[in-house]
Amino acid sequence: MTILASVLYVRKMKLRNTGEEDLELPVFDFATIATAMNNFSSDNTLGQGGFSPVYKVTLIEGQEIAVKRLSKNSGQGIEEFKNEVTLIAKLQHRNLVKLFGCCIRKAERMLIYEYMPNKSLDYFIFDQTKRKLLDWRIRMHIVDGIARGVLYLHHDSRLRIINRDLKASNILLDNDMNPKISDFGLARKFGVDQIQAKTRRVVGTCGYMPPVYALSGLFSMKSDVFSFGVLVLEILSGKKSRGFSHQDHDHNLLGHAWRLWTEKRPIELIDKALGDSYDATQVLRCINVALLCVQQSPSDRPNMSLVLLMLCGESILPQPKQPGFFIQRYLPMADSISVENEICTRLLPYCKEVWGSLQASRTLALNTISPGQSIKDGQTIVSASGSFELGFFSPGNSKSRYVGIWYKKVSTGTVVWVANREASVSDASGVLSINDKGILSIMNGTKGNTSRNSAEEPIAQLLDSGNFVVKDPNDSDSENFLWQSFDYPCDTFLPGMKIGINFVTGFDRHISSWKSMEDPAPGLYSMRIDPRGLPQLVVKKGPDITSRGGSWNVGLTQRSIWNKRKNEWEVDSTSQADQCSIYDYCGSYATCSTNESPP
């Protein structure tokens, strides 16, 4: 499409912002832009931002531009539009997208940007075919450019800008694959001496937001550093942080990278599309830097100046601490969200260390915790009928502390569910709390949210089924639960739980054995649905199927009943009665006969 005149209004628009000088931007004519794009035909659409579609327009001289049109249905979008104009007009850097001007006509508002022919980073990095075009040199060039752009925003620009929405879809690529940060609708300006700020409206994108920001609304330059670290891991692995899945565990991408790092296998994170073209030393350095950026505590994360020095230097790097990763319920949702309206609840295995004793626990007189309330190590809540209890415990002879659910009326205290299976805590300050957004957290002595509870705020409740749920206080319909422990079984399958795979979201519900009697982390065995061919329930030892009937550490699935008279569990039934129940025991095409023994 062509446009009749490149600059359609000679006049400048003055934008006033309290305490700032007037800004001048070229104003483009709305009617001509609309005509050139065939009245905003979808054929010209480049993509969809958090609040606005983006279109491609070609000027009469052949110059291509991108037009971001504010959605009329977004009440919040007006403020984001003004914010983006006032901020970007003052920013000039080779790794930031350039703003040419804007267009305002009644309720219509548009931003005119330089056009990026190679679209965005996610167009390449998450596509099985296109990511092969990104060799090691190009990927490192993109990482370096993003780092320099963020460094400019934080330290070198006229303003100190916190982007708050760094993600792969907001990194645009020009003809030479130079990365340019775009979309500043959620950005915030900091004062010269300002360290952090707090907002009641937490906005951003799942998978890129640091946990402290998602929980409390606190953000700083270190929030962008966290998002940058996530981006680097995505660029190295070719995998999305949000929606990441792995057959051996339930971590997101950050947890997966951390697991490989601690097991001395970080090279396995690298995208197989790279083949052997990468430099192993550079890979290790990049992974190290990325993990430093996503550390749980903002104070542990480096600033962007140091990040760039570490990426480009050869000095010995510090060892990263555990990242602020969390397990999340994967549900279809908009890519950019406000946590106030988010329907997924995250259980954050924040901390590492807690003491205490199950036997010494003090039961609270309720089965519910609300925003402003918490469960400390040594306290528990009990379901209404007294069947189940929730609190901190130590398995076996271990001194590590976990949040779990166990049978209250069974003297042996059989644990049926563990929240922080791979993130134990080991000092007496452990606290389980829920904030006014329905986010459960296990924290190291940090006080829980103290906001007043209202009828609209969610609560966490231990049900008589043993299910720990986050729900509306006035709604007991299980279909409307915001989050539930039954979606994340451990080694015990309770009545009401489900095992299976959601083919839309990829969410896989399965149960897995403990590593040992003293370590509830996922062990070698798992029971899940195998979706290949006719779906069937199988037991796997690592990646290998061992039986069609499940098993924990001995290859059997047992159904047990508590005998009150004997004060012990009795095996009621076992799934694997003979060798014919063992998967592929006699070969792939064998037939079974109950009258003959296997050869």
Domains of the chain, by residue range, sit at 2-114, 121-328, 345-490, 499-599
pLDDT at position 434: 87
Q: Cα–Cα distances in Å, from 443 out to 342, 430, 440?
A: 22, 6, 10
For 583-593, how does the pLDDT look when each residue is reduced to its tens digit (9 = 90+)?
555 665 565 55
pLDDT at 428 over 80: no
Judged by DSSP in three states, 554 sits in coil
pLDDT at position 314: 84
What element of type H or E holds 222?
Answer: helix 221-237
CA dihedral (192, 194, 195, 201) in degrees, to 10, reads -130
**Average pLDDT rounded to a whole number, residues 292-311:** 94
pLDDT at 21 over 50: no
Topology classification of domain 2-114: Phosphorylase Kinase; domain 1 (3.30.200)
Q: 345-490 has which CATH code?
A: 2.90.10.10
Give the catalytic positions in this structure: 165
pLDDT at 304 over 70: yes
Strands (E), 60-170: 64-69, 99-105, 108-114, 160-162
pLDDT at position 565: 67
For 153-195, how does the pLDDT look when each residue is reduced to its tens digit (9 = 90+)?
999 888 889 999 999 999 999 999 999 998 887 888 888 778 8
Between strands 218-220 and 196-198, the pairing is antiparallel
CA dihedral (549, 499, 375, 220) in degrees, to 10, reads 130
pLDDT at 231 over 50: yes
- Banded model confidence at residue 91, pLDDT cuts 50, 70, 90: confident
Topology classification of domain 121-328: Transferase(Phosphotransferase); domain 1 (1.10.510)
Q: Cα–Cα distances in Å, from 536 out to 212, 445, 500, 529, 578?
A: 41, 44, 10, 6, 19
Q: In what order do the strands lie in the sheet with 415-418?
A: 362-363, 379-382, 388-393, 402-407, 415-418
Question: Residue 456 is encoded by which pair of tokens?
Answer: 């609209």
- For the chain, the farthest-separated pair of C-alpha atoms sits apart, in whole angstroms, at 94
pLDDT at position 136: 95
For 328-344, how does the pLDDT look when each residue is reduced to its tens digit (9 = 90+)?
433 333 334 343 332 22
The DSSP bridge partners found for residue 573 are: 559
User: In terms of pTM, does the model score above 0.75?
Assistant: no
Query: In terms of Cα–Cα distance, which of 200, 216, 165, 220 is closest to 335?
Result: 165
Q: Which residue has the higher pLDDT, 162 or 548?
A: 162
